[in-house]
Amino acid sequence: MGGDYAPEEIVKGAVLAAQQGDVEIFLVGSTGILENHLARYGAAKNSAIHVAAASECIAEHESPVAAIRRKPDCSVAVAAKMVKSGEADAFVSAGSSAAATVSAIQYMGMLDGIYRPAIVGSMGTFARNTVMVDLGANVDCKPHQFLDFAIVGSVYAKKFLNIVDPKIALLSTGVEEGKGNEAVREAYSLLKNSGFNFVGNIEGNEVLGGKANVIVCDGFVGNVLLKFYESIGGQARDWTEKKVKKYPFLGILVKLVFNRLFQATEISSETEKGGGGILWGIDGVVKIAHGASRAPRIANAIQSAKNAVRAGTTESLKLELAKYNQGGKL
């Protein structure tokens, strides 16, 4: 029951998702507070929404990593345990991403061969056949994590983009093997010997060029790039509108053109439109919604988690990992 606008917007989002149908929702948190809010939104007797008790919560100043160990009854921990036990199929959180991630790792577990979960997103209109991993789940990465990202990205590219043998590239500061920081240089060597269709390093100016289907980078770089990319359309529109202020007709045209550009730079349904990112590599579906999500985005996140369960994303990844772990090529 976390998030910048919790519990109001979370409860409203759940009510909205339930109205859209075909989903059953457990709101996990303080039962009194949740039941009051459900009553306020006229959903106290909605048979698609239930309340599950969590007696603890993580304070803002607490380290999420340590808190999960000390507070096994906080809402994200309870939610993760519900998925593990089969009581729920997926969990969605708009609270601390770190707390949700740690709970998922701790109580649901990682898939065999994956060290930490990652967020995947396709590059939208400009590079329809390109996905990036990681978009923010792992700020500091060890070299072997880049290999995990390549595995996860390959499965995504095959399953959602129908690419048979995805080309993998490593995002770096130069195309030569020795370019990049220490982790990237070590990752290059791992990827080169991995059996993947590894096409080497690419630089930032090649991200949208279609040279690779899967671009791997650490979550710090991926998240910065994601937000920069998604800002391009809006920034370009604002700048151009200012320039043509004197000509009202041109202003309308600019709006039309740049609103399309703005949509084009949104990264895939897996992130913005879906209300956040799915944590790939966890043994189950976990959706990390933006902290600032309001009701419509929370509803989208719930629907997106449902779709991921229906699409069998975890099972697909398990199958591919089993092949890879047995020495096969993805």
Partner 1 sequence: MTIEEQVRDIVARITRVDKSIITRESTFKDIKADSLDVVQALVAVEELFEIEIPDEVAQKFQNFGDFVSYVESKVAQTEKV
Position among 128, 144, 310, 323 found at the interface with partner 1 (CB under 8 A): 144
Identify the helix (H) or strand (E) that includes residue 120: strand 118-122
Shortest distance, CB of residue 142 to partner 1, whole angstroms? 6
- DSSP per residue over 128-143, as a string? TT-EEE-SSS-SS--H
Instruction: CB nearer to partner 1: give 68 or 163.
Output: 68
Give the range of 35-43, 64-72, 206-214, 294-302 binding partner 1 by CB under 8 A: 64-72
Phi/psi at 74 (5° precision): -80, 165
Shortest distance, CB of residue 65 to partner 1, whole angstroms? 5
Gap between the Cα atoms of 152 and 306, Å rounded: 20
Quick check: 69 binds partner 1 (CB under 8 A)?
yes
Position among 10, 57, 80, 105 found at the interface with partner 1 (CB under 8 A): 105
Instruction: CB nearer to partner 1: give 63 or 189.
Output: 63
Gap between the Cα atoms of 279 and 285, Å rounded: 7
**C-alpha radius of gyration, the chain, whole number:** 21
Give the range of 13-21, 58-66, 119-127, 184-192 binding partner 1 by CB under 8 A: 58-66
Gap between the Cα atoms of 17 and 49, Å rounded: 10
Site for partner 1 in 146-185 (CB under 8 A): none
Quick check: 65 binds partner 1 (CB under 8 A)?
yes
Closest CA to 121 of 316, 304, 310: 304
Gap between the Cα atoms of 305 and 253, Å rounded: 37
Quick check: 140 binds partner 1 (CB under 8 A)?
yes
Q: What is the DSSP letter of 18?
A: H
Distance in angstroms between the alpha carbons of the first and the last residue of the chain: 38
Shortest distance, CB of residue 227 to partner 1, whole angstroms? 24
Give the range of 62-70, 190-198, 272-280, 289-297 binding partner 1 by CB under 8 A: 62-70
Position among 22, 44, 70, 325 found at the interface with partner 1 (CB under 8 A): 70
Contact between 115 and 187 (Cβ < 8 Å): no
Instruction: Write down the H helix ranges in the chain.
Output: 8-20, 31-40, 64-70, 75-85, 97-103, 143-161, 182-192, 219-243, 248-264, 295-311, 313-325
Position among 51, 102, 118, 282 found at the interface with partner 1 (CB under 8 A): 102
Shortest distance, CB of residue 100 to partner 1, whole angstroms? 13
Instruction: CB nearer to partner 1: give 70 or 128.
Output: 70
Shortest distance, CB of residue 140 to partner 1, whole angstroms? 7
Quick check: 193 binds partner 1 (CB under 8 A)?
no
Contact between 107 and 84 (Cβ < 8 Å): yes
Instruction: CB nearer to partner 1: give 143 or 210.
Output: 143
Q: How many residues line the site for partner 1 (CB under 8 A)?
A: 14
Residues making contact with partner 1 (CB under 8 A):
63, 65-66, 68-70, 102, 105-106, 115-116, 140, 142, 144
